[in-house]
Every structure is written in C-alpha cells, then in structure tokens.
Amino acid sequence: MNYENLLIAIENKIALVTLNRPAKLNALNKNTLAELHAAFTDLESNEAVQVIILTGSGEKAFVAGADIAEFANFSTQEGTQLAADGHQKVFDHIENLKKPVIAAVNGFALGGGLELAMACHFRVASENAKMGLPEVTLGLIPGYGGTQRLPQLVGKGRAMEMILTATMITATEAKEYGLVNHVVPQTELIEFCQGLAQKISTNAPVAITQAIQAVNASFDKTQNGYQQEINAFGRLFGTADFKEGTTAFLEKRKANFSGK
C-alpha cells in the first residue's frame, strides 16, 4: 500500500515506520492517523516483521502535536468523537499490538506526538528531544491517552506537573523520569533502536506477544494481571517455540524459533 504521510521500510525482520510530514513537523492530521491504523494493522499480520520502530522524518520533530487547524472549529460531539476514534484506531491499537513497537523520538514530541510515543511499548530519545503535553494552553486536556499513560510512566505527581504547567522537558529529564529508556546522539538514534529490535527479534515471537499482553493487563482495571501471566505461561508450554527453545538450551545451540 502507498502512503501519503508515512514511509515504511522492512529489513531483517524490523519495520521502520517514519511519519513524513516534515513541513508540518509531522503533526497528526486525520489522514495520518488513518494511515497509521492501516500500516500497523498490515505490519501486525506481516510474517516478515517481528519488531516495529516508529519515528519522525527530519531532525526537528518526532511529532510536534496534532494538526490544530483541522479541529479548531469542532463541536463538543466532534471533539469527543475525535478522541474516541484516535484511542481505538491508533493509540490503544499500537499499545496492544502483538508485535513490539519502539518509539525513536527525534526532536519534539508534543501533545499527540508524546501520546503516540507513550502508546509504543518503550521509547528511545535523541539528545535534542523535548517532550510535553501543552493542551491546557489551548483550553483542552490531552485527548489521546496522555492523562492515563503519563502517570503510569512517570508517576502521578510529575504527570500532574507536566500536564498542568504545559512545560516541556528535555531528553535527560525524560530519562530521569522513566519516560524514555535511553538517550543517544541523534545520528545514532535509529541504529541504536535497530540494535534493540534485533535483540528482540532473536527471541520467541509467541512469547514476546504473551509478555506484551501480560504486562498490559497489569494496567487494565478489567483484568487480573497475575492471572493473565499464569494463563499465558501455561499456554506457552504447548507451543513449538517452547519446545525449540528448551531443546536448543539443552543442546547448547542457538534456538531457531518458528513463531508457532
């Protein structure tokens, strides 16, 4: 599929998805959100892909926010639908994807951009990255999961401060807060993320999926995370990957997982 606002490259079981609206600092508009949904749906079912890296084009921004001009005149009903659609089709969709998604945050990740990064399974930032949720300066609050995911990642107090003051934080502060896992020079960002993705791709795909679902269950009030872990652990004993992994360990060789 050809995308207007995304670039997709697949190599060595790793898909690199690049938001490509540099003139708009990769701001999220309706079309971009629709393309993200389509792209992640396709990549999830693509057997040639085991890990996904999400980044933004150019050196200035991962995603500088939502395209404000597109919703400036929305009604209450339209605003509610905007948030609901975004949650379902993109942000929750990415968070619950069966394959790991790494956010490579290059430059500004503001508003919907930071929310997009937080929906990914973990984040790596370039040294020039700056992150924040400035929605209250527009008379809004974060509408794509920011009020929920940010406290989970950095704690209630820091999340409250970031949201209520609308202050941007640096990459160093983001790492100190636990918002990002690593900070690297911008020229090394994608290569570093590819290294992490390569490590993941050598592990059992079925187990990776079950691990994602078990960890996510701990943040879902409708689920018992411990029971999810127990059930997933048991199910994995019936997989070909478990048999291959244990056999390879006992035979002192590298496992060759089939993803089944």
| Known active-site residue 44 | no
Per the annotation, the verdict on 59 as an active-site residue is: no
Residue-wise pLDDT tens digits, 92-149? 999 999 999 999 999 999 999 999 999 999 999 999 999 999 999 999 999 999 999 9
Tell me: pLDDT of 66 over 90.
no
CA angle 6, 26, 18 (to 5 degrees): 35
Mean pLDDT of the chain: 96
Q: What's the CA gap between 126 and 212, in Å, rounded?
A: 25
C-beta atoms surrounding 73 within 10 Å: 7
| pLDDT band, residue 154 (cuts 50/70/90) | very high
* Token code pair at residue 251: 């035979």
As a whole number of angstroms, the distance between CA 258 and CA 71 comes to 45
> Looking at 4, 35, 95, 135, which residue is catalytic?
135
Whole-model pTM? Answer: 0.96
What's the average model confidence in pLDDT over 5-11?
97
Q: pLDDT tens-digit profile of 41-65?
A: 999 999 999 999 999 999 899 999 9
- Looking at the domain 6-201, which fold is it? 2-enoyl-CoA Hydratase; Chain A, domain 1 (3.90.226)
* 35, 95, 115, 173: the active-site residue: 115
Residue 1 binned pLDDT confidence (cut-offs 50, 70, 90)? confident
Residues 6+ apart with CB under 8 A from 53: 14, 15, 16, 17, 101, 102, 104, 190, 193, 194, 197
In the 8-state DSSP scheme, what is residue 87?
A: I
What Å distances lie between residue 24 and 13, 91, 170, CA to CA?
A: 30, 20, 21
Between CA 97 and CA 4, with CA 61 as vertex, the angle to 5 degrees is 65
- Average pLDDT score over residue span 221-240: 96
Give me the pLDDT at residue 67, please.
86
Other Cβ atoms closer than 10 A to 197: 23
- Read off the pLDDT band of 69 (50, 70, 90): confident
| Strand partners for 144 | none
Strands (E) located in the chain = 6-11, 14-19, 51-56, 61-63, 101-105, 108-110, 122-126, 130-132, 169-170, 182-184
C-beta separation of 15 from 51 below 8 A: yes
* Residue the block writes with tokens 């995308």: 3
